[in-house]
């Protein structure tokens, strides 16, 4: 389901990265050369951001394995460029093995034993290079190592992590004990899941991907199933307006509105129309009809007194997408609406109250591959209580997608979009200002509009999440859901590479 011609967007597990390394070494890339390039790439990043004439001491923390070997190369490269460098290693140079031993032998200075007091006393002019542990770490950091990390985190020094912030699990982003808080992480060839999933994304800071000599064949050997959300994955699926188009060719969506929380469906309707849907019908309780009709002059607002009236409207074969759940009470009537919509077999989004009524009966969706479920973590826990304990957000979403046969959009600052075949897209680093009432309804509307335009559900969900994030970026504190729909055209233009 995911394209293979955008290798820069791949997001790997630790095991997948090791498979890529094995493939690269088997085809002739010397393992030490890869280590050398990694260390030089970290040093280059430091020199580009913090020139020698403006920096204080650089303290390089070298761990016991290959990550420590990278650190020694960083230290020697910076020393050779004129930086004042101090190397702190958890073992004597003579006790390193393999490529790490060769790297340690290149360091021309003394090696100190890491002392937390030294790091606690650093000022903001100092740079700390975290080369303690890489992507292979699978245990909690404790004791002296945890205390050392705490000292680094408490200091005002700038912290640069090698490959991944020490203490962050590469596969799921969880902090294992006390993890380093890095300002910059330099990783190699491809991002790892821990760089984009929380809390790891926050621990790693800005992530820079450096090429150390791996190629497309090595990525193929890794066979990744996860990709970073970006227009290259889905922009070509969006149908650009053509001179001969009329509104009926641009899709017709139905959004079910509630009688109490009327704002949710109205926000969704604005969002669906802003991403290009040709026609939009609101199916609403008769008593709420004036609210919707007075607020949505460009939409068709239909009073729906009962389920039969709704089915008569939604059964029109020209309807190309449905949204049910935004602003609806999680009651029996909503359950009937959800079942009716599913029975039509059309692309649809189930959100809000529509998700809640599925709790305990997720089989209701019946493997309908054109359904997109958009739970936040609380809703996900009610739908799939047995999956909540899984550490990996990706694994939770993938298992839910396989169980239901639906596309799962597991929302958050690190939203995961998962397909039943195991393909996943991560949309990381959403601005925290999106944590506002109605924001999720806007997202549901965006995805509905894209479904109505006949985008495949997985791509519609991924594009919708990206547009949602871009609409919020740059607004700043004070963002409310009502601000988002009007910012969608600019986000859409950016996604499609157009001026507007």
Q: List, run by run, the mean pLDDT of 10-residue segments along the chain (500 residues).
A: 73 97 97 98 97 87 97 98 96 96 96 94 96 94 95 97 98 96 98 96 97 95 96 96 86 96 97 97 97 95 96 94 96 93 94 91 70 96 91 94 95 96 92 96 98 97 98 96 98 85
- 390, 197 Cβ separation under 8 angstroms: no
- 392, 172 Cβ separation under 8 angstroms: yes
**Residue 56 confidence (pLDDT):** 84
**Residue 168 confidence (pLDDT):** 98
- The 10 Å CB-count burial string (b at 16+, else e) for 97-121 is eebbebbbeebeeebeebebebbbe
- Looking at the structure, tell me whether residues 197 and 245 fall in a common domain: no
Residue for token pair 């604005």: 270
| Spatial separation of the C-alpha atoms in residues 424 and 370, rounded to whole Å | 16
Q: Kindly state whether residue 2 falls inside one of the protein's structural domains.
A: no
- 303, 276 Cβ separation under 8 angstroms: no
Q: What CATH number is associated with residue 38?
A: 3.40.50.10260
**Residue 1 confidence (pLDDT):** 43
Q: How many residues comprise the chain?
A: 500
- Looking at the structure, tell me whether residues 195 and 270 fall in a common domain: no
Q: Kindly state whether residue 274 falls inside one of the protein's structural domains.
A: yes
- Looking at the structure, tell me whether residues 69 and 145 fall in a common domain: yes
Q: Kindly state whether residue 257 falls inside one of the protein's structural domains.
A: yes
Total number of domains constituting the chain:
2
- Looking at the structure, tell me whether residues 189 and 338 fall in a common domain: no
Tell me the Ramachandran region of residue 497: left when phi exceeds 0, alpha when psi lies from -120 to 50, beta otherwise: left
**Residue 249 confidence (pLDDT):** 85
Q: What CATH number is associated with residue 239?
A: 3.40.1190.20
- Looking at the structure, tell me whether residues 250 and 378 fall in a common domain: yes
**Domain end marker among 166, 196, 224:** 224
- The 10 Å CB-count burial string (b at 16+, else e) for 68-94 is bbbbbbbbbbbbeeebebbbbbbbebe
Residue 281 forms beta bridges with which residues? 254, 300
Q: Kindly state whether residue 1 falls inside one of the protein's structural domains.
A: no
- Looking at the structure, tell me whether residues 487 and 391 fall in a common domain: yes
Q: Kindly state whether residue 63 falls inside one of the protein's structural domains.
A: yes
Q: Kindly state whether residue 3 falls inside one of the protein's structural domains.
A: no
- Looking at the structure, tell me whether residues 268 and 248 fall in a common domain: yes
By the 10 Å C-beta count (0-12 exposed, 13-18 middle, 19+ buried), 209 is classed as middle
**Residue 232 confidence (pLDDT):** 96
- Looking at the structure, tell me whether residues 213 and 243 fall in a common domain: no
- Looking at the structure, tell me whether residues 303 and 182 fall in a common domain: no
Q: Kindly state whether residue 487 falls inside one of the protein's structural domains.
A: yes
- 75, 60 Cβ separation under 8 angstroms: yes
| Spatial separation of the C-alpha atoms in residues 39 and 161, rounded to whole Å | 11
Structure tokens at 357: 């009524």
Instruction: For CA atoms 410, 416, 417, 419, give the dihedral sign.
Output: negative
Residue 372 forms beta bridges with which residues? 349, 407
**Domain end marker among 224, 242, 268:** 224
Q: Kindly state whether residue 372 falls inside one of the protein's structural domains.
A: yes
- Looking at the structure, tell me whether residues 206 and 291 fall in a common domain: no
SS (H, E, C) the chain: CCCCCCHHHEEECHHHHHHHHHHHHHCCCCHHHHHHHHHHHHHHHHHHHCCHHHCCCEEEEECCCHHHHHHHHHHHHHHHCCCCEEEEECCCHHHCCHHHHHHHHHCCCCEECCCHHHHHCCCCCCEEEEECCCCCCCCCECHHHHHHHHHHHHCCCEEEEECCCCCECCCCCCECECCCCCCEEEEECCEEHHHHCCCHHHHHCEEEEECCCCCHHHHHHHCCCEEECCHHHCHHHCCCCCCCCCHHHHCEEEEECCCCCHHHHHHHHHHHHHCCCCEEEEEECHHHHHHHHHHCCCCEEEECCCHHHHHHHHCCCCCCEEEECCCCCCCHHHHHHHHHHHHHCCCEEECCHHHHCCCCCHHHHCCCCCEEECCCHHHHHHHCHHHCCCCCHHHHHHHHHHHHCCEEEECCCCEEEECCCCCEEEECCCCHHHCCCCHHHHHHHHHHHHHHCCCCHHHHHHHHHHHHHHHHCCCCCCCCHHHHHHHHHHHHHHHHCCCC
**Residue 15 confidence (pLDDT):** 96
Q: Which domain holds residue 51?
A: 8-224
- Looking at the structure, tell me whether residues 198 and 275 fall in a common domain: no
Backbone angles phi, psi at 43, to 5 degrees: -60, -40
**Domain end marker among 199, 224, 249:** 224
- 236, 307 Cβ separation under 8 angstroms: no
- 288, 259 Cβ separation under 8 angstroms: yes
| Spatial separation of the C-alpha atoms in residues 384 and 360, rounded to whole Å | 8
Q: Is pTM, for the whole model, over 0.85?
A: yes
| Spatial separation of the C-alpha atoms in residues 178 and 168, rounded to whole Å | 9
- Looking at the structure, tell me whether residues 237 and 220 fall in a common domain: no
Structure tokens at 470: 């871009």
Query: Which residue, among 311, 263, 320, has the nearest Cα to 283 in the 3D structure?
Result: 311
């Amino acid at each position: 389901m995911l394209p293979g011609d955008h290798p820069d967007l791949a997001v790997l597990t630790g095991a997948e990265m090791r498979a890529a390394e094995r493939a690269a070494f088997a085809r002739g890339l010397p393992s030490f050369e890869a280590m050398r390039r990694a260390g030089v790439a970290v040093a280059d990043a430091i020199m580009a951001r913090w020139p020698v004439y403006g920096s204080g001491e650089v303290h390089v923390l070298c761990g016991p394995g290959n990550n420590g070997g990278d650190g020694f190369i960083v230290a020697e490269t910076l020393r050779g460029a004129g930086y004042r460098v101090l190397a702190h290693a958890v073992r004597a140079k003579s006790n390193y093995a393999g490529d790490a031993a060769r790297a340690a032998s290149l360091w021309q200075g003394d090696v100190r034993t890491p002392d937390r007091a030294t790091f606690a006393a650093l000022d903001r002019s100092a740079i700390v290079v975290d080369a303690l542990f890489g992507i292979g770490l699978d245990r909690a950091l404790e004791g002296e190592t945890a205390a050392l990390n705490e000292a680094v985190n408490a200091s005002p020094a700038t912290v640069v992590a090698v490959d991944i912030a020490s203490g962050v699990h590469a596969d799921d982003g969880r902090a294992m004990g006390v993890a380093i808080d890095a300002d910059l992480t330099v990783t190699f060839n491809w991002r790892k899941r821990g760089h984009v999933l929380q809390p790891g994304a926050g621990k790693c800071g800005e992530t820079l991907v450096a090429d150390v000599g791996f190629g497309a064949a090595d990525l193929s050997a890794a066979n990744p199933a996860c990709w970073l959300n970006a227009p290259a994955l889905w922009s070509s699926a969006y149908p650009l307006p053509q001179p001969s188009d009329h509104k009926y060719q641009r899709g017709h969506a139905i959004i079910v509105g509630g009688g109490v929380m009327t704002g949710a469906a109205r926000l969704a309707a604005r969002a669906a129309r802003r991403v290009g849907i040709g026609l939009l019908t609101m199916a609403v309780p008769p008593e709420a009809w004036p609210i919707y009709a007075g607020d949505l002059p460009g939409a068709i607002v239909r009073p729906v007194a009962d389920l039969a009236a709704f089915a008569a409207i939604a059964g029109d074969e020209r309807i190309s997408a449905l949204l049910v759940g935004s602003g609806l009470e999680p009651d029996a009537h909503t359950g009937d609406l959800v079942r009716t919509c599913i029975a039509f077999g059309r692309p649809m989004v189930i959100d809000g109250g529509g998700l809640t009524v599925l709790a305990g009966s997720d089989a209701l969706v019946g493997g309908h591959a054109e359904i997109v479920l958009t739970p936040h973590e609380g809703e996900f826990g009610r739908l799939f209580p047995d999956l909540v304990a899984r550490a990996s957000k990706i694994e939770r979403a993938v298992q839910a997608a396989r169980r239901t046969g639906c596309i799962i959009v597991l929302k958050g600052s690190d939203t995961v979009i998962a397909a039943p075949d195991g393909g996943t897209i991560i949309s990381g680093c959403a601005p925290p200002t999106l944590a506002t009432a109605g924001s999720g309804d806007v997202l549901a509307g965006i995805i509905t509009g894209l479904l109505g335009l006949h985008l495949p559900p997985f791509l519609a969900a991924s594009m919708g999440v990206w547009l949602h994030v871009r609409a919020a970026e740059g607004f700043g504190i004070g963002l409310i859901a009502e601000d988002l729909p009007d910012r969608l055209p600019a986000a859409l233009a950016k996604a499609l590479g157009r001026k507007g």
